Structure 1
Amino acid sequence: MKKESIFTPTFVINTLISFLFYIVFYVLTSSIGTYALQQLHQSTVVSLSLSSVFVIGALIGRVWTGINITRIGMKRLLYIGGLIFLVLTFGYYLTTNIPLLFLIRVIQGAGFGIGATASGTIAGHVVPASRRGEGIGYYALSVTLAAAVGPALSIMIYSSLGFGSLLGIALGLLVITFILIFFVRVKEFSAEERAYALAHEPKGVERYIEKSALPISIIAFLAGFIDSAILTGMGSFSTDLKIPLAGSLFFTMYAVLIFVSRPFTGRLFDTKGDNWIFNPTFIFFAVAMLLVGLAGFFSPAIGFVVLLIAGGAFGLGYGGVAPFGQAIAIRDSSKDRIGVATSTFFGFLDLGVGGGPIVLGAIIPMLGNGMLGFRNLYLYSAPAVVIVWIIYYLIHGKHQKSSSKV
C-alpha cells in the first residue's frame, strides 16, 4: 500500500511559519533580559521576569485558541496570532517604561500562543493519521532548529548592532510569516461540524482542558520543568567551568542528534507504539542530566567532551517529549477537540519550562554557591527524570500496547 504523503505544500509552509514564530520568540527572549539589565538598568529579578511573563501570555493565548478554534477557524486564528505578535513587537520601539514593557510582553506572548497553537493544530489536521508520529516529528523540527539558531543569532545581533536592529529583524521575519499564511490551505470545519461541536462543547474546566490529553500533558510539564534547569543554567554553568563554548555546542549537539534520529524515531512511534519511544527517551534524558552534573568534577578539557556527549543524549532524550507527546495528545482526542488538545499539551509544557526558573532560582542557592549549586542541581535532576519515567508508566505507559502497524 502506498504511503500517504506528509510533505504537502501546506505542511511545508506551515512548518516554516512555525519556525519563524519560534525564531522571533527565541531572538527576543534571549536578549530582552540583557537589554533590561544594560540599557534600562533593571535588577536581575526584573530581567528574568520579562521572560516569564511572555510564557504567561502564551499560556493564555493557547487556552483561548483551544476553545475558539472550531468557532473562528484555524487559518483565521493564525492570522490573528501573527498580527498581535507583529504589532506588539513594534511596540518595543515605543517604550522604556518597565510596567508597559511587561504588558507588551504579556500581550505579545498571547499572540505567539495563538499563532503557535493554530499552527500546531493545522499540522495535526494535515498530517495523515497513519503517519502522525512521523509527521508531527518533522513539524517539530521547526522548533528544534529555532531553539538551536535563535539564541545564538540573538546574542550576535544584539552585541554587534543593538536591540533596535534586533527588533527590525524580528519585524521583518513576522512580515514574511504573515505573507506565508496566505498560502496555507487547510480544510476548516463545516457548518454542520461547527454546530455539532459547539452544541456538545463541554462545560466548566473541561471546556479549556482536553481530558484525554491530560496524562501526557502532565508528563510534558514535569519534563519541561527539568529542562528549564538546562535552558536557564547551562550558560552560567559552562562559563564557571571555563568552557563557555561547550555550553553553546551542547545545544548544537542537541539539535544535530534530533535531526539525525527523527526519521527513525517518527516511524518507530507509528509502527511500534508510545513506549518504544518514551522508555528510551527517559533513559537518555536521565543520562544527559547525570553527565552534565558530572562535567563539574572534571578538568575543562574532559568536561568539554562530557558536555558534548550530554548534549547528544539530551537530544535523544528530552528532544522527543514535545513532538511525540503532541502526537499522543491529539491522537486520543476527537477531531473537533484537536485544538484544545494541542493547547492543553503545550500549555502544560510552557508552564513547566516557564515556571521552572522561578522555582529553581530559589532552590539553587540551597544546593551550593555558583558552580556547585548548578552541579548539584543537575545531579539531582537525573533521579528526578527517573521519577517522571515512573509517573509516565503509571498514568500512561502501562495502558499502552505495542503496535503492529506497518
Structure 2
Amino acid sequence: MNKPKLWTKDFIIVSSVNFLLTLVFYLLIVIIGVYAVDRFQATTSQAGLVTGIFIIGTLIGRLVIGSSIDKIGRKKTLFIGLILYVITTSMYFIQVDINFLLITRLLHGITLGVASTATGTIVAQIIPTTRKGEGIGYYSMSATLATAIGPFIGLLMSQHSSAEMIFILCLIFGIFSLATAFFLYVPKLEDMPIKEPVTKGIKLANFIEPKAIPIAFVTLVVAFGYSSVLSYINFYAIEIDQVSAASFFFLVYSIAVLFSRPFTGRLLDLKGANYVMYPAFILFAVGLFLLSIANNGLLLLLAGVLIGLGFGNMQSCTQAIAVKLTPAHRMGLATSTFFIFLDAGLGFGPYILGFIIPFMTYGKLYGILSVVILLSTALYFFLHGKKAKQHMVSE
C-alpha cells in the first residue's frame, strides 16, 4: 500500500517560510544585545530586555491570534503576519534610542508569533493524517536548522560587517518568505474532513490546554536556563576572548541535535520519555558547567555539543509529551501551550538574568544555572516522570 505523499509543494513552502522566520529570529538574538550596548550604551539588564522582549512579543502574538486564526482564515493570517513582519524588520533601520529599539523588538516578535502560528497550523492541516507525526517531525527540523545557521551568520557578520548589513539581510529573508508564500495553497476549512468544535466565550481552556501545563512548566524552567546561552554567549565570548570559536557554537549545537534526534525520537517511542529526559537533564547541566569553566575554544564548542544533546532533545521530547497527553481534538492547543511556556522562559530569562549578571561573571552565572538545571530533574520527576510509565501503558 502506497503512503500518501508528504513532501508536496505546499509542505516544502510552509517549511521554508518557517525556516526563514526562525533564521531571522536566531540571527538577531545573538547580536542585538551587543548592538544595544554599542549603539545606545544600554545597561546589561536593558540589553537582556532588548533580547528577550522579542520572545515576549511572540508570546503575545500567539495568544492573540490563536483563537482568531480560523475566523480570519489561515492563509490570510499568514499573509498579514508576513507583511507586518517585513514592515517591523525595516524598523531596525530607524535608530532613535533604546526605547524605540524595544518597541521595534516587541512588534517584530508579535508579527513572528502571528506568522509562525499560521505556518504551524497550516502544516498540521496539509500533512496526511497517516503521516502526521513524521511530517511534523520533519517540519520542526526546519527550525532546528535555523537555530544553527542563524546564530552562525549573526556572530560571523558581527565580526566582519556593520549592524545595518545584518538588518538588510534580515529584511531580504523576510521579503523572500512573503514572496514564497504566494505559491502556497491552503484548503478551505470547509474542505477538511473534520471541523473541531469551538467553545464559546472567553475561557482559559480556549487558550491553554490544562493537561499540557505540567510538562510545559518544566519546559519553561529549562528554557530559562537556555536563554542565558542564547542571550549572553556573545558577551561571554568577549569576556574570555573566544569570539571566533563562539561563532561556531550554535553550529555544533545544532549538528548535535540533528544527529541525535532520530535516535532519541525512536527511544522516546519505544522506551518512554524518561529514557530521554533524565540523560538530557544531565547532559544540559554538564554542558553549562563546561561553559562556565571554558578557557579555550575546544571546551566552548564541547559545551555546545552537550547543550545540544541536552536542551535540544529536551525541547522536542517535552513537545511530544505535551501532545501525547491530550486528546486529538486538543492537540493544537497542547502545542500552543507548549510554545507559550517555551517563549516565556526564553523571553523573560534574559531580562531577569540581566539583574544578576552585574554581581558576578558570566562564568559564575553558567555554573549556577548548571546546578539549577540539575535540580530541575526533581521537578520533572514530580510533574511527569513518575507517571510516565503509566502513560506508556495506556497508549
Q: Give the TM-score category using the shorter length.
A: 0.7 to 0.9
Alignment equivalent of 1:311, drawn from 287, 294, 304: 304
- SS of the aligned residue for 1:400 comes to helix
Do 2:17 and 2:181's aligned partners in 1 also have CA atoms closer than 8 Å?
A: yes
* 2:336 alignment partner, one of 322, 325, 343: 343
Residue 143 of structure 1 corresponds to 143
Output one character per residue of 1:174-224: Cα deviation in whole Å (capped at 9) or x when no partner: 1211122233344453399998622x3474322221212212211110110
State the match for 1:382 in structure 2: 370
Deviation of 1:40 after TM superposition, in Å, equals 4.2
Deviates more, 1:92-101 or 1:19-28: 92-101
Distance 1:321 1:12, change over 3 A: farther
1:236 aligns with 2:235: yes
Aligned residues: 393
Q: Report the secondary structure of 2:247's partner residue.
A: helix
Please name the residue that 1:245 is paired with: 244
Q: TM-score, normalised by structure 1?
A: 0.84
Given that residues 145 and 254 in structure 2 are in contact (C-alpha distance below 8 angstroms), is that contact kept between their aligned partners in structure 1?
yes
Per-residue deviation, residues 239-288 of structure 1 (Å, max 9, x unmatched): 43333333333322211111112222233334443333323322321221
What is aligned with 1:324?
317
In the superposition, relative to structure 1, how do residues 280 and 119 fare at CA in structure 2: closer, same or farther (>3 Å)? farther
Mapped partners of 2:100, 2:301: distance in 1: 40
- Who is 1:254 aligned against? 253
1: CA distance between counterparts of 2:131 and 2:349?
Answer: 33
* Residues 118 and 339, structure 1, Cα contact 8 Å, conserved in 2: no
SS at match of 2:248: helix
Identity of aligned residues (%): 34
* 1:161-172 superposed matches below 5 A: 161-172=161-172
Partner of residue 288, structure 2: 289
1:208 is matched with: 207
Retained in 2: the 8 A contact 1:228–1:356?
yes
The answer to whether the 8 A contact 1:133-1:266 is kept is: no
Which amino acid letter does the alignment assign opposite residue 140 of structure 1? S
1:14 Cα shift? 1.7
Q: Secondary structure at the match of 2:110?
A: helix
For 2:282, the aligned partner's letter is: I
Name the amino acid aligned to 1:400: A
SS in 2 for 1:197: coil
After TM superposition, give the deviation of residue 20 of structure 1 in Å. 0.2
Q: Partners in 1 of 2:180 and 2:393 — Cα distance?
A: 38
Deviation (angstroms), 1:25: 1.8
- Of residues 48-57 and 182-191 in structure 1, the stretch that sits farther from structure 2 once superposed is 182-191
Query: For residue 397 of structure 1, what is the amino acid of its counterpart?
Result: G
Distance 1:90 1:162 in 2: 16
List runs of 5+ in structure 1 lacking aligned partners. Answer: none
Residues 338 and 201 of structure 1, relative CA distance in 2, 3 Å threshold: farther
Provide the C-alpha distance between the structure 2 equivalents of 1:336 and 1:181, rounded to a whole number of angstroms: 27
Residues 92, 251 of structure 1: alpha-carbon distance in 2 compared, 3 angstrom cutoff? closer
Q: Note the 1:146-161 alignment, pairs <5 A.
A: 146-157=146-157, 160-161=160-161
Match of 1:72 in 2: 72
Closer, same or farther: CA 228–97 of 1 in aligned 2, 3 Å: closer
Query: Displacement of 1:305 after TM fit?
Result: 3.0
Structure 2: give runs of 5+ residues left out of the alignment: none
Given the two structures, how large is their TM-score scaled by the length of structure 2?
0.86
Structure-1 residue corresponding to 2:12: 12
Question: In 2, distance between residues paired with 1:291 and 1:189?
Answer: 50
Q: How many angstroms apart in 1 are the aligned matches of 2:353 and 2:372?
A: 13
Q: Aligned AA for 1:392? A: Y
